[in-house]
């Protein structure tokens, strides 16, 4: 999934770094979970995993990937849909997704607010989704909610379907990476016919837990072997960048405003997006949570200076900094040329006293 700070490509590096230092345990807490990729990786390794994030769509993914521990059976849905194509290799999830992919499109909140057809009265009609895809998203989202209201889905099944929808949407969005703006011309991806994709579930034998809160409120209750922190690196809050995914996940008809149709996010602001509060928040976590190892992923361009991070973490134990260098191509202001820049992904490892 396209998500700023997604650690998918760094998972093996992170794991290798910890393994080499014999940093192991039974429990893992993913404090800023985002796509839940890191939590998923450690779930597969057999850890009891807890995860948390301010974003509700992240919580849906955490529920499906981290908390859920079985294949969905959709016992109450399958009898309602035409299952003629049932054969031994078609899973219940595939059958339900196939049904959802073929239901009648409807004009709902997404069509009315994020497609050209639905926003033609605006001075700048919003071009997030093609008219057809926006209507398909509305019909699928409405059907999932109707099934839930009629008690036809287990909680696991509900979040698995929402996660399939959320994961599929980024393949059809007319954006250059985040939802804070739409493209002024159609990207090829946005013109393809919207189709839900199945997701890959992972299981372990643990009672994993997931939260949709400001993780700072959990600090006093955390007791884990490895506490993994992957906070925002800069002053840009996540909620406005992913406002449409949040609205599709909640489907709560929010009041929206501005050119991009942004929902309110005053309750989803992170103390890590402010250079005055970020170090204080880091100190609070390192001091008050109970853990053996605290692992902080950060970036050499982040708003907390490396020296200060080391100063804060060193108050509570022995700190090591490991850096993975990479080259980033950065467009200049008018996008005419590109410059190379050395960036490093950082891993701060604190072994608590």
Ligand X SMILES: C[S@@+](CC[C@H](N)C(=O)[O-])C[C@H]1O[C@@H](n2cnc3c(N)ncnc32)[C@H](O)[C@@H]1O
Least CB distance to ligand X at residue 326 (A) = 16
Smallest gap from residue 24 Cβ to ligand X (A): 20
Residues 221-280 that bind ligand X (CB under 6 A): 230-232, 238, 270, 272
Stretch that binds ligand X, among 1-9, 65-73, 245-253, 285-293 (CB under 6 A): 1-9
Nearer to ligand X, 77 or 312 (CB): 312
Minimum distance, C-beta of residue 284 to ligand X, in the bound complex (Å): 11
Judged by CB under 6 A, which stretch of 127-135, 181-189, 212-220, 313-321 contacts ligand X?
A: 212-220
Q: Which CB atom, from 58 or from 346, has the smaller least distance to ligand X?
A: 58
Closer by beta carbon to ligand X, 73 or else 275: 275
- Residue closest to ligand X (Cβ): 5
Residues 29-88 that bind ligand X (CB under 6 A): 32, 34-35, 37-38, 52-55, 58
Q: Check binding of 28 to ligand X (CB under 6 A).
A: no
The distance of closest approach from Cβ of residue 31 to ligand X in the complex, given in angstroms and rounded to an integer, is 7
Look at residues 81, 114, 109 and name the one whose alpha carbon lies nearest to residue 181: 114
Give, in order, the Cα–Cα distances in Å from 142 to each of 109, 135, 136, 159, 276: 10, 10, 10, 14, 42
Query: Of the two residues 5 and 105, which places its CB atom closer to ligand X in the complex?
Result: 5
Answer for which of 23, 78, 216, 343 binds ligand X (CB under 6 A) is: 216
- When the beta carbons of 51 and 139 are compared against ligand X, the nearer one is 51
What's the closest the beta carbon of residue 59 comes to ligand X, in angstroms? 10
> In the block, which residue shows the tokens 């109707």?
146
Hey, how many other C-beta atoms are within 10 angstroms of the C-beta on 272?
Answer: 28
HEC letters along the chain: CCCCCCCHHHHHHHHHHHHHCCCCCCEEEECCCCCCHHHHHHHHCCCEEEEECCCHHHHHHHHHHHHCCCCCCCCCCHHHCCCCCCCCCCCHHHHHHHHHHCCCCCCCHHHHHHECHHHCCCCCCCCCECHHHHHHHHHHHHHHHHHHHCCCCCHHHHHHHHHHHHHHHCCCCCCCCCCCCCCCCCCHHHHCCCCCCCCCCCCCCCCCEEECCCHHHHHHHCEEEEEEECCCCCCCCHHHHCHHHHHHHHCCCCCEECCCCEECCHHHCCHHHCHHHHHHHHHHHHHHCEEEEEEEEEECCCCCCHHHHHHHHHCCEEEEEEEEEEEEEEECCCCCCEEEEEEEEEEEEEEEC
User: Nearer Cβ to ligand X, position 97 or 286?
Assistant: 286
Among residues 72 and 302, whose Cβ is nearest to ligand X? 302
What's the closest the beta carbon of residue 6 comes to ligand X, in angstroms? Answer: 4
List of residues 6+ apart from 266 with CB closer than 8 A: none
Q: Per-residue contact track with ligand X, 143 to 182, x per CB under 6 A?
A: ----------------------------------------
Residue closer to ligand X (CB basis): 34 or 118: 34
Distance between CA atoms of 100 and 161, rounded to whole angstroms? Answer: 10
Q: Give the contact letters, 186-205, x = binds to ligand X (CB under 6 A), - = no.
A: --------------------
Please pick, from the candidates 130, 168, 215, 346, the single residue that binds ligand X as defined by CB under 6 A: 215
* Closest by Cα among 52, 39, 33, 60 to 245: 60
Among 5, 25, 117, 317, binds ligand X (CB under 6 A): 5
Please identify, using beta-carbon distances, which residue of 179 and 272 lies nearer to ligand X.
272
Q: Which residues bind ligand X (CB under 6 A)?
A: 3, 5-7, 32, 34-35, 37-38, 52-55, 58, 214-216, 230-232, 238, 270, 272
């Amino acid at each position: 999934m396209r998500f700023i700070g997604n650690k998918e490509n760094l998972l093996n590096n992170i794991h290798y770094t910890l393994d080499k230092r014999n940093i192991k345990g039974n429990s893992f807490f993913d404090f800023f979970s985002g796509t839940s990729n890191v939590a998923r990786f450690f779930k597969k390794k057999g850890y009891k995993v807890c995860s948390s994030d301010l974003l509700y769509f992240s919580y849906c993914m955490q529920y499906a990937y981290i908390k859920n521990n079985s294949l969905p059976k959709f016992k109450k849905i399958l009898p309602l849909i035409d299952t003629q194509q049932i054969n031994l290799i078609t899973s219940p999830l595939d059958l339900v997704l196939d049904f959802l992919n073929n239901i009648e499109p409807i004009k709902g909140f997404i069509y009315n607010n994020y497609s050209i057809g639905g926003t033609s009265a605006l001075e700048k009609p919003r071009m997030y989704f093609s008219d057809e895809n926006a209507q398909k998203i509305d019909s699928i989202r409405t059907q999932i909610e109707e099934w839930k209201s009629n008690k036809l889905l287990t909680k696991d099944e509900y979040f698995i379907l929402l996660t399939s929808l959320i994961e599929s949407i980024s393949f059809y969005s007319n954006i250059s990476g985040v939802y804070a703006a739409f493209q002024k011309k159609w990207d090829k991806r946005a013109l393809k016919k919207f189709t839900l994709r199945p997701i890959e579930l992972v299981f372990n034998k643990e009672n994993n837990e997931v939260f949709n809160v400001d993780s700072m409120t959990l600090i006093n209750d955390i007791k884990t072997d490895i506490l993994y922190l992957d906070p925002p690196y800069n002053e840009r809050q996540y909620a406005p960048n992913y406002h449409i995914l949040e609205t599709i996940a909640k489907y709560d008809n929010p009041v929206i405003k501005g050119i991009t149709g942004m929902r309110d996010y005053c309750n989803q602001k992170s103390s890590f997006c402010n250079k005055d509060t970020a170090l204080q928040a880091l100190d609070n976590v390192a001091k008050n949570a109970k853990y053996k190892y605290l692992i902080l992923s950060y970036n050499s361009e982040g708003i907390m200076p490396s020296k200060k991070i080391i100063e804060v973490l060193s108050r509570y134990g022995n700190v090591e900094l490991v850096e993975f260098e990479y080259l980033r191509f950065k467009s200049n202001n008018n996008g005419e040329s590109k410059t190379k820049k050395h960036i490093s992904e950082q891993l701060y490892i604190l072994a608590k006293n």
